[in-house]
């Protein structure tokens, strides 16, 4: 995955969120996860940005990291410009979430699979 694809995924994510906001079908999550940590919003912004930059500089941008970085950037932009993460997928058996959250989880699962069954050289810069 290249940086242009990451940017494209982030733009799609932000477009969907804007559509959900305009339709009034969303929940704003000011916290870190599940609404926890509202009082540390500013700290999370800096930590998240630092983590995203570190991932991009330290590792080769492969598919799993591309998903994680795309999702992280989407949620980071929400925190900066909307004051919290815009969640819009409501399922009865899960907490409310969004595409960025799904990308982060899918990237994490894919990363774990790659680390266990794939070549470690895929992650070196």
Q: How many domains in the chain?
A: 1
Is the residue at 74 inside a domain? yes
Q: Which of 26, 73, 75, 101 is catalytic?
A: 101
Is 121 inside any structural domain?
yes
Q: Global pTM?
A: 0.86
Per-residue pLDDT tens, the chain, 125 aa: give them. 888 999 999 999 999 999 999 999 999 988 776 666 666 777 888 888 999 999 888 888 899 999 999 999 999 999 999 988 999 999 999 999 999 999 999 999 999 998 888 866 555 55
Q: Which of 17, 64, 65, 87 is catalytic?
A: 87
> Is 87 a known active-site residue?
yes
Q: Say if 89 falls within a structural domain.
A: yes
**Would residue 13 show up in a list of annotated catalytic residues for this protein?**
no
Cα separation values, 88 from 6, 14, 53, 65, 97, Å: 21, 12, 27, 24, 6
Determine, yes or no, domain membership for 30: no
At residue 5, the pLDDT reads 95
Q: Where does residue 50 rank: exposed (0-12), middle (13-18), buried (19+ CB within 10 A)?
A: exposed
Q: Please tell me the predicted confidence (pLDDT) of residue 123.
A: 58
Q: Is residue 48 part of a domain?
A: no
Within-domain flag for 43: no
In this structure, how many other beta carbons lie within 10 angstroms of the beta carbon of residue 92?
4
Expressed as residue numbers, the domain containing 6 is 1-20+60-125
Q: Is residue 15 part of a domain?
A: yes
């Amino acid at each position: 995955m290249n940086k242009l694809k990451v940017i494209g995924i982030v733009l799609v994510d932000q477009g969907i969120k804007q559509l959900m906001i305009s339709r009034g079908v969303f929940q704003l999550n000011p916290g870190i996860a599940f609404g926890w940590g509202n009082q540390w919003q500013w700290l999370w912004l800096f930590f998240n940005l630092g983590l995203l930059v570190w991932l991009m500089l330290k590792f080769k941008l492969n598919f799993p990291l591309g998903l994680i970085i795309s999702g992280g950037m989407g949620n980071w932009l929400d925190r900066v410009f909307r004051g919290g993460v815009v969640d819009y997928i409501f399922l009865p058996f899960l907490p409310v979430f969004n595409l960025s959250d799904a990308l982060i989880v899918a990237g994490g699962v894919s990363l774990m699979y790659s680390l266990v069954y794939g070549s470690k050289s895929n992650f070196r810069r």
